[in-house]
Amino acid sequence: MALNFKLQLAENSASNIFRRGTLSFTKKNHVIQTPACMTYTLRGAVPHLLADNLKLLPIELVQVSLEHFLEQKDPSSFKYPHGLHKYLNLENNLLFCDIRDPLKLSPVSFNTDKYLSVQTHGGVRQVTPDLWAEAMNIYRPDLIATMSDTVTDMDAKTKRIKKSVDRSLRWLDENLVKSKELDIPVFAPVMGHTDKEERIRSATSTAERDVQGFIVNVLGFEKETVAAQVKASTDNLPSNKPRLAYGLSSPEGILEGISNGIDLFDGSYAYKVTEKGRAITFKFGTELKSEIHTQDQPKTLNLWSTDLAHAFEPLDTTCGCDACTRPHTKAYIHHLLNAHEMLGPILLMSHNVYQLDKFMQSIRTSIDQGSFEQDMKTFMHHYSHLKESDGMQNHEDEVDTDSLGVHLKKKRTLKL
């Protein structure tokens, strides 16, 4: 088998199961410690970063979305004969290929028994089982997700939800035939949307298939309902296979997912905070214990803030990322953002990917030490859990024309 999962430790309490495991890709001779985050990509590239940047970061399992490559009827990536790893210049990384973008599952045209509709850069496209099989045959990723009829309407009726479960199971059976031919491990989506009974039915039926892992989707769900919906799925899945979650990318979501038996998460949080001009500053476990006397602290640092214009220290003195070890100061990155220089997001993204990985390392250590439940309470008490706002909101760009010796030109009114 090309993928093996070994559950190292399961510590039980009255309401939680905290899993520690190893995910072994035998063909690549590579082992990933779980819980872990995959690295998020847009159209096959880690946002803002080049291959040289990636070499300096702890990136192992990279997630790519098939819908990002289907903007044309005959995608150029389908004509490349050497596989997706080489096409993306990610030959030293493991690739997980799903169909939809895990950052946002926007509604598209309806699905049918014959095809799945996806949103691409070139408009709505239709993915059939044959097209999916063709893509996997050409791309040859290390791990694949099968097709699923995901419901995006939070008010969907039971009839629609049941149809999505049945349709996804049929597609799973079709996709499994091709995946076995290619000898590529499969993660199967567990459906059910907002209906707990359907989640249980989907999980039970999916677990009967020969799959190597499962995907639990709670994108768009209210915080109050997430735990119950995840639990309805994970309670009915075998404990000896890994579970990946969508919709739990925030630090709070990751902790909630781990508390309910999730092993893998999408890494889109690092990209989301980078786009807001923010740097991750939160800690977990032993690194946080010295600061437990405070509460409602921000989890990220707003680099658009004018308060940092004269802050000549790195983003985090304890961070080992390239942005912090050079070091590039807060004031310099603040200046780069104001000047709309591409180096600003590069430095922020490098830092945030590094810090998210460090957060997962701290979680694994905490589980190993048997202190995860208490460390989670400390984290939730210490930090503010309001959604991080866009750092550029209400911000005015600096006017550099005078300092550059260029006179402002008066606006001209064109006479019609």
- In this prediction, residues 223-231 reach a mean pLDDT of 93
Rounded Cα gap, residues 285 and 288, in angstroms: 6
- In this prediction, residues 163-171 reach a mean pLDDT of 97
Q: Does residue 106 surpass a pLDDT of 80?
A: no
pLDDT in tens, 110-135: 889 999 999 888 888 999 999 999 99
Which contacts of 328-336 are long-range, i.e. CB under 8 A and separated by 24 or more positions? 330/301, 330/303, 333/279, 333/303, 334/303, 334/304, 334/305, 334/306, 334/308, 334/309, 335/309
Q: Does residue 414 surpass a pLDDT of 70?
A: no
Q: Does residue 12 surpass a pLDDT of 50?
A: no
Specify the DSSP class assigned to residue 325: H
Which pLDDT belongs to residue 292?
Answer: 61
φ/ψ bin of 78: left (φ > 0), alpha (ψ from -120 to 50), beta (otherwise): alpha
Q: By the 8 A CB rule, do 127 and 115 touch? A: yes
The residues, any chain, with a CB within 8 Å of residue 307's CB and separated by 6 or more, are: none
Q: How far is CA 58 from the centre of its chain?
A: 15
Which pLDDT belongs to residue 227?
Answer: 93
Which pLDDT belongs to residue 42?
Answer: 94
Rounded Cα gap, residues 276 and 361, in angstroms: 25
How does DSSP assign 190-231, residue by residue?
A: E--TT-HHHHHHHHHHHHTS--SEEEEE-TT--HHHHHHHHH
Amino acid at 195: D
- In this prediction, residues 91-96 reach a mean pLDDT of 96
Least reliable range by pLDDT among 41-50, 65-74, 342-351, 392-401: 392-401
Q: Does residue 394 surpass a pLDDT of 60?
A: yes
Rounded Cα gap, residues 49 and 40, in angstroms: 11
Q: Tell me if the pTM is above 0.85.
A: yes
Which pLDDT belongs to residue 109?
Answer: 65
Q: By the 8 A CB rule, do 116 and 84 touch? A: no
Which pLDDT belongs to residue 393?
Answer: 83
| pLDDT interval class at 407 (50, 70, 90) | very low
| pLDDT interval class at 160 (50, 70, 90) | very high
Which pLDDT belongs to residue 410?
Answer: 43
Listed ranges 9-18, 97-106, 110-119, 302-311; the one with the highest mean pLDDT: 302-311
Domains of the chain: 3-266 (3.20.20.105), 274-382 (no CATH)
Mean pLDDT of the chain: 90
- Closest C-alpha among 50, 137, 105 to residue 347: 50
- Closest C-alpha among 371, 363, 369, 343 to residue 49: 343
How does DSSP assign 142-165, residue by residue?
A: SEEE--------TT--HHHHHHHH
Tracing tokens 């819980």 back to the chain, one arrives at 35
Annotated binding-site residues for Zn(2+) read 319, 321, 324, 351
Annotated binding-site residues read 319, 321, 324, 351
